Amino acid sequence: MSAPNASPAAPRGGLVVIALLLVYVVWGSTFLGIRLALEAGMQPLSMVSGSRFVVAGSVLYAILRWRGVPAPSKAQWRNMLVMGLCLLFLGNGMVVLAQRDVSSGLAAVAVASVPLWMALFTLIRGHRVSGREWLGIAIGFAGIVWLNAGSSLTASPLALGLLLLAPLGWAFGSIWSRGRDLPSPFMTAAGQMLCGGVLLMLVGFASGERWNTPPPVSGLLAVSYLCVFGSIIAFTAYVWLLHNVRPVLAGSYAYVNPVIAVALGASLAGERFSRSEFGAMAVILAGVVVITLAQRSKR
């Protein structure tokens, strides 16, 4: 897979950095976007999650087909349906449902467990996780716990169950997808957004969600942000990472996203940082650095 010529490595390394930054920063801001959409009265499954992925997937799919990218085969659609079920229906939809009545601290801790589950599923598939990768995972998770030590971690049993299911589904789908018959990374992102979005909307409508009144402008703006930046841009970058880097590095976003969420809370909602929070965020970033260095050494 690697070539002796070093010239292609630089642009690919640059693309990896850009993709990681998009996933780190943009997905860190989606916690605020989801909260604003829910506060505006948007239905969680059909509107906040489902409609966003259907629109984003449709736009991306149309652009790719217009540019001449071949349509996925039946086998590829089946694989993308499984990915849409795991990553979007379970991974995203359950977090949105849980955010109706859980603290942001608890949601952040739940999402931060994704790299741990990804490492476990990687082991189950017979691939080795290096000692330095385990060290980075442990450091990052310790930082997440420290960051949220002062948060209110109370939630209903149902919400706690949803927050356990969400990272499991996301991690399993991410590892399951490696080596499967899939189209290009961008077409894969479009296809699974379509599949996952349709599933979310169907389940939302079946559970009684209805669009009886026109949604408020604030809700539409929040969902539009989630659609364009959270889905088309950041989710596509994540799928590309799954095709090009080790799963643990791709999953390291879970350690950085809460840092971004806290920073946005301070700048937009008037929340204040403490020394403890600064220290926790430094530990989180240290964990990401350890994972990144382990990735580079394995290459």
Neighbours of 73 (CB within 10 A): 12
Residues in the chain: 299
**pLDDT beneath 50, residues of the chain:** 1-11
pLDDT of residue 110: 74
Q: In whole angstroms, what is the distance from residue 135 CA to residue 119 CA?
A: 12
Q: Which of 83, 68, 49 is nearest to 243 (CA)?
A: 83
Q: What are the pLDDT digits (tens) for 37-94?
A: 988 889 999 999 999 999 999 999 999 999 999 999 999 999 999 999 999 999 999 9
Q: What is the value of pTM for the model shown?
A: 0.82
What span, in angstroms and rounded, lies between the C-alpha atoms of 137 and 135?
Answer: 5
Distances (CA, A) of 57 to 61, 65, 182, 201, 232: 6, 12, 16, 14, 7
**Model pLDDT, residue 280:** 79
